[in-house]
Amino acid sequence: MNEKQKLEVRICGRDYTLVSEESPEYIHRVAFYVDQKMREVEQANPRLSISMAAVLTSLNIGDEFLKGREETSRLKEETVTKDETLYLANKKIEELEQQITELQNKYQALQIRYAKKETELEDALKSFELGLQNNNITFDDLT
């Protein structure tokens, strides 16, 4: 945990002493941002008192904050939805890869079976032709 530090910042021409555990760079960035927003409000309506400008600036920053939080929430939900979609897609890919493997195995088994049947058929044909030759019958005589 960081130690609390005192910092001097200037917002709208006024100096403020802040105590924070955040880094000085961060606090100065926040103060600069608030200063810019206050100046925008003052430029839009120079007749506002400093307290009215501060209230309007607070409302504007609060609006930005809430919209940012809503957007963050929406993006988180979108991320969850996309994560679920990705999970389901990966699951489907795994299932399809399994099916491909099974089909490849079946195909290889069928190729082996086909090769055996082809060899059996060739052997049977040779045997038949030998039988015909032994009986002095040609294959052409049969047709």
In the chain, the domains with their CATH numbers are 1-47 (3.30.160)
Question: Contact, 11 vs 34, CB < 8 A?
Answer: yes
Give the pLDDT mean for 80-103: 98
Question: Contact, 10 vs 30, CB < 8 A?
Answer: no
The amino acid at residue 35 is D
Q: 59 vs 3, which has greater pLDDT? A: 59
- Percentage of the chain lying above the pLDDT 70 cut: 94
Question: Contact, 9 vs 27, CB < 8 A?
Answer: yes
User: What are the pLDDT digits (tens) for 128-142?
Assistant: 888 877 787 665 666
Closest by Cα among 50, 43, 16, 47 to 30: 16
Lowest mean pLDDT among 1-10, 23-32, 110-119: 1-10
**pLDDT at site 137:** 64
User: What are the pLDDT digits (tens) for 42-84?
Assistant: 999 999 999 999 999 999 999 999 999 999 999 999 999 999 9
Question: Contact, 49 vs 72, CB < 8 A?
Answer: no
